[in-house]
Amino acid sequence: MKGSSKGSIEGTVDPAFRGISKSQTGFFVWRVERLQLVPVPKDQQGVFYDGDSYIVYAASEYGQHVGPGTKPKEVHGKMEIHIHFWLGQCTSQDESAVAAFKTVELDDFLGGTPVQHREVRGNESPRFRSYFKQQGIRIMLGGVESGLKTINNNVEPRLFRVKGRRCPLLTQMPGVAWEYFNSGDVFIIDTKDVVFVWSGRSANSMEKLQAAKVATQFKDERNALSIVFVDDGKENELTLPEQTLLGYYLELSPLAKRVMSDKHEDDAKAENGTRSSLKLYRCSDADGIYKVVEMKTGNLEQTDLVSNDSYIIDNGPYHIWVWVGKNASSKERVEAMRNAHGFLKKKNYPSNCGVTRVVDGGEPVEFKVLFVTWQEDDRLLLSARPPAKNGSVNAVKHVPLKIDASVLHSDLKLAAQEQLLDDGTGSLQVWKIGANSLVETNNKNKHILHSAESYIIKYSYKHNDSESSIVYNWKGEDKIEPDRTSLAKLTMNQEPSLASAPVQVRTVQGKEPPHFLAAFRGKLIVLQGEHDDKMPKELLLQVRGNNIYNTNTVQVPMQLSSLNSNFVFILKTEESSFMWCGKGSTGDEREMAKNVAKGICDGELAVLYEGLEKPEFWKYINNEGVYANARSKKMSSKLTSIRLFHCSNASGYFKVEETMNFSQSDLIGEDVMILDAFHTIFIWIGLKANKEEKSKAMEFASEYLDTDPCKRSPDIPVVQIIQGHEPPIFTGFFPSWDTNFWKKGKTFDDIRRELDEQKPVLQVDLIVAENVPNFDDCQKYPLSVLREKDPEKLPSGVDYQHKEIYLSAADFSSVFGMKYSQFTELPKWKQGSLKKNVGLF
């Protein structure tokens, strides 16, 4: 039965899809032309017309990325398939309907498992942008119909705005006029023979660099003579020929530029906090009527999704997700996207709000991270699981008991996965943060911290034969501080040499990362209360961990309820010392407890096993309560995907933008970046980042966690890194790492200097000649017909960019007050101004 159904589907599928192999990687783009799908050639993939609709198909191995030029490859494991239908802002309803319908048809052909995305021009998802990371995305005016009307081979001047520090996004503006410029962006004026690159006063250097690269592409595509760089406000400093050429397209007087905006366009329209708002709705047609019922607000668990139903996850105007259960009805599966669009309209969300449909069992990473927990196939886990909490399960023993430091230094991926710098053989210094100063602790007791204090810990180690160090800001669970970033600020004020350390870590009691615990060689002890150089005469310690990388020891009340069958405890008194071993403890855990006891206990250590205790042991333990004596279940796993974000507050509120398929080249010196490894947040500070963003880096990390939809603990470790000093626990998350990368790359100034040196001497008379149809040879129409704004509704054969040439000679003189021959002698900007005044622009 299934076989015949499949054959029927393949027999009726659009011919455009028949080249797709269901078991191979692939990347295809189709454009809707006259309500039919037409393949976009590979050299044109990444160019989108604002008046059209497109479908983009991307199939890869799970967790991998594809793009234009990807060669088909057989996949034997799990595949990840994404289908995007992209809608231009000026696309027709018929074309957008065809794109949506054909997406469903392709989805059905592939078994209903792909992830479907609705993309709207100007608000493309990070995944969509990542496909075109190398060549960028170009958004062109018009569409297939208006393109067919351009019959004269004319090369019209075009104005493009360049945005995007990593993947350049070029948007063609309606015309070459100052009103479409602003001082915060970079613009390219692409003419027949010269490509002008105009940089706004406050444009960032990476967008300038991207514009220079794109200008070189344009020059090659047009076979243009030259690239001319223009700085905002310095137009009159160009050479006389360059001024003449630019002045042909734009009036260069300061008065003319007053229409230009001072600020760059900010694409983020949502208010602060949008990322953090989540609502779950259940969708069902069980009783024959399709209903959407709100089920939950706030933290979401994977168990909230039941395979018999479909759900909508509402992330406000930021994104709408539709999840379709395996056992949902075929109607729910097919109509999921349509229902999401109806939901979007009902909520009055903006039309460019992202919409994605995912299927039970085929969820992409960006969906899974919305949930507090997600049980994942072990093969798909990308890194270590988060550490177990006190009283939970036996810690997952994924870290080798013995690991060579040289292995970590040569295998960056292992160092990042295990979050280890070395084998803990470096040197350690510890300071207590006092009211007005830092006080270095006694060397003998430097492995002992107190829960009501904050400490600065500096660990020095060797990496690749050079000295490196990492500074930790550790806060005890009973220490009260006004905010999570105050510790770092205190350090900055009290000890500049520590504050200037290129790698700093904020961590709190119970959330210490493996590299922190390794620095103490598994002997870290946290005592209750404020700092005291003397150890209490009597105390009970719980030891958690099975090697030096995950072991810490905490003081607990000396009472029965403190014991737990899953752990080892040390009881120290003036007369005796005991090690109590719960039934659920392991040999490795007992060895680590002995290691701790050696440092604090004098004399013989009596080892006791649960149920075989000596009476002497119980006389020190208060008999209050009962203790946990059942073996704990193993902890559930959480997909720990690695994600990179650019963060900024330049627009007045905290904003993050994800970069998918990231590499070292995405770490740009002007930026502050967040690498989210789930169990740890890394904040990377570029050397050229602005002072305010540098000073607020730790605040960025806190705000990022506050606005995280999956609501992780705000106390997970935060590692702050200065560009050029990246430790292996960070670099190992990147596909490759080159310590000389930033020394080798060319800056915008380098490229500009090279291109300026190649510039020929320009001849004005070569530039201004244009290939415009002969005025007398054109068919004539009345002014009312030519004022039509929609190019597709103009008479056949009319060049919508030169509508004035289709006026009769008498009408032309009447409308413009001059002859056509006089009009052609005017500068381009003046012609445009006159055409705008009479409704022909």
Q: Which of 594, 536, 540 is nearest to 569 (CA)?
A: 540
Contact by Cβ (8 Å): 22, 110: yes
More confident residue, 272 or 139: 139
- Give 424's pLDDT tier (boundaries 50, 70, 90): confident
pLDDT at residue 498 is higher than 90: no
pLDDT at residue 683 is higher than 50: yes
pLDDT at residue 47 is higher than 90: yes
Q: Is 209 exposed, middle or buried (0-12, 13-18, 19+ CB in 10 A)?
A: buried
Exposure string (b/e) for 628-645, b if CB count within 10 Å is 16 or more? Answer: beeebeebebbbbbbbbb
Q: For residues 270 and 506, what is the distance between their CA atoms, to the nearest angstrom?
A: 30
Beta-carbon contacts of residue 280 (< 8 Å; ≥ 6 apart)? 294, 295, 296, 297, 300, 304, 311, 312, 313, 314
Contact by Cβ (8 Å): 639, 380: yes
Q: For residues 786 and 779, what is the distance between their CA atoms, to the nearest angstrom?
A: 12
pLDDT tens per residue across span 558-585? 989 899 998 999 999 988 999 999 998 9
Region 783-804: mean pLDDT is 84
Q: What string of DSSP letters covers 330-357? A: HHHHHTHHHHHHHHHHHTT--TT-EEEE
pLDDT at residue 153 is higher than 80: no
pLDDT at residue 17 is higher than 60: yes
Per-residue confidence (pLDDT) for residue 646, from 0 to 100: 87
Per-residue confidence (pLDDT) for residue 489, from 0 to 100: 56
Per-residue confidence (pLDDT) for residue 155, from 0 to 100: 62
Per-residue confidence (pLDDT) for residue 764, from 0 to 100: 58
pLDDT tens per residue across span 195-253? 999 999 888 888 899 999 999 988 888 888 889 999 998 998 888 888 888 888 888 88
pTM: 0.76
- Give 491's pLDDT tier (boundaries 50, 70, 90): low
User: Which of 490-504, 581-595, 639-653, 765-779 holds the top average pLDDT?
Assistant: 581-595
pLDDT at residue 270 is higher than 60: no
pLDDT at residue 340 is higher than 60: yes
Per-residue confidence (pLDDT) for residue 403, from 0 to 100: 59
Q: Which of 67, 70, 55, 65 is nearest to 14 (CA)?
A: 55
Per-residue confidence (pLDDT) for residue 38, from 0 to 100: 93
Length in residues, the chain: 841
Q: For residues 192 and 176, what is the distance between their CA atoms, to the nearest angstrom?
A: 14
**3-class DSSP assignment, residue 518:** helix
pLDDT tens per residue across span 360-393? 888 888 888 888 777 765 434 433 333 333 333 3
pLDDT at residue 161 is higher than 90: yes
How much of the chain, in percent, has pLDDT values that exceed 90? 28
Region 512-537: mean pLDDT is 90
Displacement of CA 178 from its chain's centroid (Å):
33
How much of the chain, in percent, has pLDDT values that exceed 70? 86
- Give 402's pLDDT tier (boundaries 50, 70, 90): low
pLDDT tens per residue across span 112-126? 889 999 998 888 898
Q: For residues 540 and 531, what is the distance between their CA atoms, to the nearest angstrom?
A: 17
- Give 640's pLDDT tier (boundaries 50, 70, 90): low
Q: For residues 798 and 786, what is the distance between their CA atoms, to the nearest angstrom?
A: 9
Q: By mean pLDDT, which of 25-39, 495-509, 673-687 is the weakest?
A: 495-509
What order do you get walking across the sheet with 503-508 strand by strand? 438-440, 427-433, 454-463, 466-475, 503-508, 718-722, 681-685, 672-676, 643-648, 655-659
**Tokens (6 digits) for 534:** 């003397």
Per-residue confidence (pLDDT) for residue 65, from 0 to 100: 87
Q: Which of 649, 647, 719, 648 is nearest to 683 (CA)?
A: 719
Bridge partners of 393? none
- Give 768's pLDDT tier (boundaries 50, 70, 90): very low
Per-residue confidence (pLDDT) for residue 267, from 0 to 100: 37
Region 46-66: mean pLDDT is 91
Per-residue confidence (pLDDT) for residue 3, from 0 to 100: 39
- Give 406's pLDDT tier (boundaries 50, 70, 90): low
Domains and CATH numbers, the chain: 2-146 (3.40.20.10), 155-266+749-758 (3.40.20.10), 274-378 (3.40.20.10), 405-618 (3.40.20.10), 643-737 (3.40.20.10), 772-837 (1.10.950.10)
How far, in Å, are 147, 464, 560, 728, 776 from residue 521 at the CA level?
69, 21, 29, 19, 90
More confident residue, 400 or 73: 73
**Tokens (6 digits) for 803:** 């509508």
pLDDT at residue 9 is higher than 60: no
- The chain-wide mean pLDDT, for the chain, equals 82
Bridge partners of 439? 432
Region 69-79: mean pLDDT is 87
Q: Give the chain's largest Cα–Cα span.
A: 117
Decide the pairing of beta strands 354-359 and 310-314. unpaired
- Give 632's pLDDT tier (boundaries 50, 70, 90): low
More confident residue, 663 or 487: 663
Displacement of CA 620 from its chain's centroid (Å):
54
**3-class DSSP assignment, residue 68:** coil
- Give 712's pLDDT tier (boundaries 50, 70, 90): confident
**3-class DSSP assignment, residue 583:** coil
pLDDT at residue 6 is higher than 60: no
Q: Which of 2, 1, 34, 30 is nearest to 14 (CA)?
A: 30
- Give 54's pLDDT tier (boundaries 50, 70, 90): very high
